[in-house]
Chains A and B, each alone.
Chain A
Amino acid sequence: MRGHLATWANTVVAGAFAAGISITMPAAADDTIKVGVLHSLSGTMAISETTLKDTMLFLIEEQNKKGGLLGKKLEAVVVDPASDWPLFAEKARQLIEQDKVAAVFGCWTSSSRKSVLPVFEELNGLLFYPVQYEGEESQRNVFYTGAAPNQQAIPAVDYLMSEDGGSVKRWVLAGTDYVYPQTTNKILKAYLESKGVAGEDIMVNYTPFGHSDWQTIVSDIKKFGSAGKKTAVVSTINGDANVPFYKELGNQGVKAEDIPVVAFSVGEEELAGLDTTPLVGHLAAWNYFQSVDAPANAEFIDAWKAYTKNDKRVTNDPMEAHVIGFNMWVKAVEKAATTDPDAVIDAIVGVSVPNLTGGFSTMMPNHHITKPVLIGEIQADGQFETVWETPGLVVGDEWSDYLPDSKSLIADWRAPMSCGNFNVATGKCGGKAGTTN
């Protein structure tokens, strides 16, 4: 088991902190450290990514108020990859090679991340990726601050199977037809079957991107749910299609008490476009909710609202991921006393920073972070109320234990292993040839 508890994290925090103050900072006042922001500001993904760009500008401004980093001011370099995947690669190259940024915060979809991976590998840049994703990846130059499937999907299913969650026996796995839902559903199916759920009690359904006519599917779900066993829907439906899906659910009278829907891509931002009264009780699994009652969170929300000068701006999970990722990077740079990528990659493993839910998140050797998992129910005011949470932190598991081919893989980027796909069965690092620099 690669489990780590918060106590472990605390010692690391202390260590990192001690390292932080022992550094004498070079004074080069007129110089700046550049930070790349690679989020789509136009096109289909602008709907989600624009907020993250604002978050980064906010974080950089806050950091500069605190005196910057290594005695230099931070400077944001914002580019617009326009929801166009090859353009992501082009912009990444521009940021690293031309603008010489110290780190890049960006990407949302897996496609965009996949498209920039070779660039970061080739030019040895740093990418902080803040969105929950399907896992099955660990790359030396990328830090995954969003949730891996075991930090979102599996705890959610555990909750629903528990007595509190309603002892669900029958499952609808509904998703948009692309890689993240397909992989997550594969993992979930294997997991459910390992828990003794029969194949006939699992219904899998895929829809195209931006699907807006949910009548048939919602009525199928209703029918599937009327077989007498407690039924739940696990939704990996992509952002845009969620609003019509929830509207149809509400209108067809699918109540959360009867058939709860637990979603992995529906956050505060998505609910902002909805009247949530008919949806009260439907669930979402995240690592952060705006409603979390913690001093760090309250402080962050106030500062964020002041920064955006908008009292109604909501916060969400990928924003928290950027907050954590940014603070980790800052800490690692301070620890290494340089922004040199190799030094930062070495320094950042084990760095621990406060997250917004009142605990600490730590960067693990597999470049994923530890997070608490929260299950929240939708409230009438468009917020979530936490009904369940993991007491400790969960380590992001990059190679799922429920997929036959990735079971025996692990990632550890610390020397001497320094490998993203070490096969414990064969004792070999599988893709070493690909990770040269």
Chain B
Amino acid sequence: MKFTINTSTLNHHIQHAAKAISNRTTIPILTGIKMEATNVGIYLTASDTNISIQTHIPLEDEEHVIAEITATGSVVLPAKLLTELIRKLPNKQVEVEVKDNFQTMIRSGQTEVEINGLDPEEYPLLPSINENNTLVISSDILKLMIKETIFSVSHDESAAILTGVMFSLDHGKLTFTATDRHRLALKEMHVESAADITFKNIVVSGKNLNELYKILSEQSEAIHIIVSDNQILFKINNILFYSRILDGVYPDTTRIIPAQSKTDVIVNKQKLLQAIDRASLLSREQNTNIVKMTVDENNGISISSSSSTFGKINEEIKMDEFSGDEVNISFNSKYMLDVLKVLDAEQVKIKFTGAMSPILITPEDDNECVFLILPYRTG
């Protein structure tokens, strides 16, 4: 194998692929990135068996020649060294050449590096996925759906299924659900798909989605999502992003979302966020982040918290709408702040269903996303 390539393009792609490299892998070959030069371009593959990423560098784009292949072939190079090295090369061009026993020469300007490569035959194959079940979604929407749900996944490995976001697709409606038992985030979007494709209980680890999120562009690029038995594939322009699907059955959350409420409030999101943010400064005792909220028709929303060490805080916010009973509730301010930070609306609707049952938060005129927070029971 021998080729020359634009250094910054190679660097860009290696950074993407390296997101699948784990420091804790037990399989030696997976500490490397597989590099394959073909007549249609260069492929970089990295995997930790949980995530696999393959990026494709075409030989040319509309304007420029990116790479020139002198001899096709492949090699596996140590990922950590490769990512560092390519970033630090002096010249715009780099030449990669594999010699006997996978000894690989990397030349750039006056720099010449000889790396001990590994046999690409030992590198595992990418998961094979039947491409029948494909749906198409715009990358900015996928990004939004991840952002609005991922913060609610559990970090408790003892309930592994809750460490993921649950995907379901029914009648062209894609739903992401995440919960850590104390809060829940749900986001729905209409997507293009063959009408007969449905799936449910597809749970993708929050960590993997976080890596995917970093790769997704803000532009509205078409992303193809393909689901198989135990893998989900995201096709992003030149990148294939495979993720393992978590084993297990995701709990049924459909009945958890309350249909009726006792109190409904509409309030300015920014004002509420700032008030709770301030109150949370005094709520850090014993990691409870506990903030108290009382709501009544005359006084509006009052937010308070206290700390035996530092003192107490109390502030009031005017509501735009109120109906129902008075409210007196305590909750984890972090959970509320997480919701308000991702919620994309000027006004939020908060529904209370009781002092010891869920608080429901939605954008004022939007039923596509729902957030639930379970309050604290206080003595």
Instruction: Decide if A and B are genuine partners.
Output: no
| Residue positions of A touching B, CB distance < 8 A | none
